[in-house]
Amino acid sequence: MSLIKTEKIRKEYGQDSDSMTVALENVSFSIESGEFVAIMGPSGSGKSTLLHILGFLDRQSSGQYFFDSKSIDDYSDDQLAFIRNKKMGFVFQAFNLLPRTTVLENVKLPLVYSGIKESLWDEMAINAIKSVGLEHRIKHDTSHLSGGEKQRVAIARALVNNPQVIFADEPTGNLDTKSGQAIMEILQNLNEKSGHTIILITHETTTAQNAKRIIRIKDGTVESDQKVEKQLRADKEYIK
């Protein structure tokens, strides 16, 4: 069974034909548990709109979206919020960290809404922080971190509930090349060693090629859906 499946997803904005904008049209694909998939396209192609639908942050206008073999139309809003917190992790280009708080406090944030006993929060957060190599920064204020370190905190926060899938929306967009590649290596390790499903949103070909499969979006439709050749990934490793 697919973890994620979309069937003829359409997303439109506006109430009448004169003002209507179609952001997505006839988008269909499946993503299996444990895959690392890049959704790639230029600005305005619809990839961020698609991410919002996949992450339960928005709803399609028509078509069907199945998560874990169940249509999202069968979930209440409260159920969708619960699944989003427990089974999904999000990493954004802008980091979205709480200002003037420590790394530990930022990573613990999703646990506030998890129903997990508070006595377990520190241990869970520390384990997530260690998984991204930032244990030496646990008590540091996030405003004092570099961009690459801030994104590692964001990844640790996304991991703290041990979600089924991590959505990474342009995670290297605010980083230099070296820091960006370090973030991609973390995502690759989470996929290959921990088995997390990774869905990467990017407009950059070199970033997308870190994935194992690339779905290209253009003008709101799926232009292509191809696996990344193993040799290409191996060449990127060699060049590093």
135-162, pLDDT tens digit by residue? 999 999 999 999 999 999 999 999 999 9
**Confidence (pLDDT) at 169:** 94
Crossing angle, helix 121-131 and helix 147-159, to 10 degrees? 130
pLDDT score of 233: 55
pLDDT digits (tens, 9 = 90+) for 123-139: 999 999 999 999 999 99
DSSP H helical ranges for 55-146: 77-87, 103-108, 121-131
Residue 64 confidence (pLDDT)? 97
Backbone conformation region of residue 10, classed left if phi is above 0, alpha if psi is from -120 to 50, else beta: beta
Alpha carbon distance 67, 71 (integer Å): 6
Rounded CA gap, 185 and 110, in Å?
A: 24
Stretches in the chain below the pLDDT threshold 50: 231, 238-240
